[in-house]
Structure 1
Amino acid sequence: MRTQIKNTVIILLAVLFANCSKDDDTPIDKGLTLFETTEEWNCNLSETCEDIYQFEFKEGTRISISIENITGKSVVSLDLSADFGEFGGPNLLTEGKLTYYGCTTQDESVSVTNVNISETGIYNLAVARDWSLSAGFDGAYKLTIISDTTFTEGETPTNDTEATNYERECI
């Protein structure tokens, strides 16, 4: 009987230890393929303001960007550029020009699909509210990014900063 209890305890301990690992409490960051957020702009008088997000994308990734549920009679423009130490590099959405992508009217959704990421790195996405085409100081929107590969979200977004050297173009 003692041998049988001893064997049962050994088997039980073996099963318990086999199911344990040192990494059980450490979450594994597999990255995102979908990013969604609802945000607001609160711009100063005569200022085109923007919210800036950072993401790390891999080379060869294809992404789609959507801005929906726009309020406040806001007109949206977008800038997606690689982070070269400062914001405002060539915009992937305007064929490498320095202009913002903007083709909509007040409270109209924006959708840009099949954007090719040509090299691995950190990218800044600016969601701007065009002062001269919008009405009032504030508005809201929902941002959605969908990717065919995993990506990571960068630092906390910068909100309501003035868009310097702002020009928009519809391509």
Structure 2
Amino acid sequence: MKTIKYTIIIIIFILSSSCSKSDDTPVIRGFFPTQIQKTDYSDSNKNRTYTIAYNSQNQITEITEIAVTGESLTKTFTYSSGLLMNISVSNNINSETTTYEYIYNSSALLTSIIETNNTATYSYAVSYDSTSNSYSLNDSGIVMTLFLDDENSPIEFELSPTLSFTIITDNESSGAFKNVKNQIAIQLTYNFIEGINFCFFHHKQINNIDFGTTNLNVINSRDSNNNIRTVNYNNTTTGQTVYGYVITYSERNL
């Protein structure tokens, strides 16, 4: 009986030790942008506040853009198997809605974007070039190409044949969205619809945006947690600040 008793005690000790070690496993935390305030120094009517929500997988589920007039646009994100499948856009002024649906092939490469609004549906073919790691979107013969780095963050944008710009990053310094997995569907949609605001979603710190004839020098400041807190886009020709951003974060489990 004593042998059985001691055996049971040993087993209980081992089990309790195992549970204790498991419970003591440190939880890894990271910072995620939850609000971005944009100042347009040339037109205050274009100032915006963006609020950002996430799901338990740390994927973006909602971005609300609030104008100075009080009008707001809410973009709701839907995922399946880790891929963005849909963005639904609504506003608080009227009943107009727009939906972007994303189609992928069997290799999980984006092949088309379908835009549907209250009156019409548009389809945009998307192709991927593995040699240059770039995606091209064809809008009725106008081809827009986004070149990506090794983390699938944008480094060059080209609107054939009229416009192109290069994003110069600091590979040693993280960007505001370093903890959010890149989604090419977000990069394409925000680049082509939102313009320069798509730079929000970069994994690396952006130092310069080169338009060829005009450069925007990007000045970043960081908080005590080494997160990018403020960003100013300065026109190197005029010396004027074009855009300013203030970023607020929340801490989440990774």
**TM value normalised by structure 2:** 0.25
Q: Which of the pair has the greater relative contact order for Cα pairs under 8 Å at 6+ separation?
A: 1
Specify which structure has the higher proportion of helix: 2
Specify which structure has the higher proportion of strand: 2
